[in-house]
Structure 1
Amino acid sequence: MQLRLPVWMGIAALVLSACASLQPVETGQKMIGSPQSAVSDTFGKPTETHQLADGTLRWIYSKQPYGYDVYAADFDGSGKLIAFRQMLTEAEIYKAQPNTWTKRDVMERWGMPREPIQYYPLMKREAWSYRMYLPGYVPAHFSAYFDDNGVLDRTMIIMDTYGADRSRSK
C-alpha cells in the first residue's frame, strides 16, 4: 500500500511537532536561518514579541507560571531566525545588570512574569518571579527586584525545597 504525499506531509508535521515539544532548544537551533513562518509553524504563536534596540525581533515562548521554561527566538532584520535558546538559565540570569537594567530590559529577556507581581513596602521593591530549574533539575524561583523608579536593584535565585511535589502529603 502506497502512502500519498499529503499523508507523508502529515506524518512529517506530526514528528516535527513532537520534536519541538520534547526538545525545543535543539529543534529551534536546527532551524537557524529559517523564516519566521517556519518558526511559527513549529512552535506556534509566541506569548510576547519585543523589538530590541539592536534591531533584533525577539519572540518569547513562556511556559510560566506552571512550567519552568522561557524560550527566546531571535530574528534579524530580514526575518530569519538567528538564535533560539532557553532564557531561564544561570548563565542568562548572570547577564542582568543591577542599577542599569530597567523593567523593559528584564521583560525583553524573560517576558512578563506570569506569577503575581509582589511589592515589599519595607524594602520599597517590586519583585517579578519566574520558575526555573537549577542544574540537576532542582526547582527554583528566580526573582528580579526593582526600585520605585523601575530600575533593577538585584536578582535572586532561591531553591524551591518542595519542588513540584507540593500536593503530596508529608
Structure 2
Amino acid sequence: MSMRKRLSATLACTALLLAGCVQPWQRFQPGEDQSALVARFGPPREVYDLPDGGKRLMWPTQPMGEVTTAADIDRTGKVVSLRQVLQPNEFYKAQIGQWTKRDVLVNFGRPVETSYFPLMKREVWTYRYLEDNVWYLLYSFYFDDQGILRLTQKTPDPLHEPDRNRFGF
C-alpha cells in the first residue's frame, strides 16, 4: 500500500473516531427549528422565558448526572444556541452581587440540592458537574435573604469519593 493510501486510510479512521466524540448538543446548528431538538432529545424538562421574547429549553440529567443541555430558542422557534451549561466557563459568568436566584435558575436549571445555613444567613443551590472530563465536583451558589448571589464555591462531589464506602456506610 502506498504512503498516500495509508495516510488517507488513517485520516478516514481518525475522522470516524472523532465523529463518535461529538456531543449531542454539538450536532445542531443555529437556525434549525426547535422541533428537531425535541425530536432528538424529547420534550424539555425545564422551559424558561428569556428577556428577548425567546425561550430556554433544558434537558438536565440531575440529580445523578453531570450534564444539562440548554437550547436558546428565538421568538420564531429557531435555535439560537445549544450548549452544555454545567461547566466552569458557564458557571464563571455568574456575577456576584448582581445575579439573583432567577438568573441562576434560568442559566443552569433546577439545582440538585438546596440548603440553608442560618449562621451565614445564606441559601445554597448546588449543581453536580464534571470538570475537564475528569473531576466530579459540586458547584454551589450562595444567596442572601434578598435572593442576591453573594458567593460561589466548588467542592469535590462526595458521591464519587473513592474511600466513601470504606467504613460500610
Q: Distance in 2 between matches of 1:99 and 1:61?
A: 28
Identical pairs, percent: 40
1:5 paired residue number: none
1:6 paired residue number: none
Does the aligned pair in 2 maintain the 1:73–1:83 contact within 8 Å?
yes
Aligned residue pairs, count: 147
* Unaligned ranges ≥5, structure 2: 1-18
Q: Distance in 1 between matches of 2:108 and 2:154?
A: 14
Summarize the alignment of residues 40-59 of structure 1 with structure 2, pairs less than 5 Å apart: 40-59=38-57
Cα deviation for residue 23 of structure 1 reads 2.5
Correspondence for 1:146 among 143, 148, 159: 143
2:71 paired residue number: 73
Q: Distance in 2 between matches of 1:84 and 1:166?
A: 37
Does the aligned pair in 2 maintain the 1:118–1:126 contact within 8 Å?
yes
TM-score by length of 1: 0.79
Task: Decide whether aligned partners of structure 1 residues 130 and 45 sit closer, same or farther in structure 2, where only a CA change above 3 A counts.
Answer: same
- CA-atom RMSD in angstroms: 2.1
1:130 paired residue number: 127
Summarize the alignment of residues 6-155 of structure 1 with structure 2, pairs less than 5 Å apart: 23-27=23-27, 30-115=28-113, 117-155=114-152
Cα deviation for residue 167 of structure 1 reads 6.6
Does the aligned pair in 2 maintain the 1:32–1:82 contact within 8 Å?
yes
**Larger C-alpha radius of gyration, 1 or 2?**
2
Q: Distance in 2 between matches of 1:157 and 1:93?
A: 10
Task: Decide whether aligned partners of structure 1 residues 137 and 25 sit closer, same or farther in structure 2, where only a CA change above 3 A counts.
Answer: farther
Q: Distance in 1 between matches of 2:38 and 2:89?
A: 26
Cα deviation for residue 137 of structure 1 reads 1.8
TM-score by length of 2: 0.79
Does the aligned pair in 1 maintain the 2:61–2:67 contact within 8 Å?
yes
Task: Decide whether aligned partners of structure 1 residues 164 and 66 sit closer, same or farther in structure 2, where only a CA change above 3 A counts.
Answer: farther
Q: Distance in 1 between matches of 2:163 and 2:139?
A: 18
SS of residue paired to 2:57: strand
Cα deviation for residue 55 of structure 1 reads 2.3
Q: Distance in 1 between matches of 2:121 and 2:153?
A: 16
Does the aligned pair in 1 maintain the 2:112–2:128 contact within 8 Å?
no
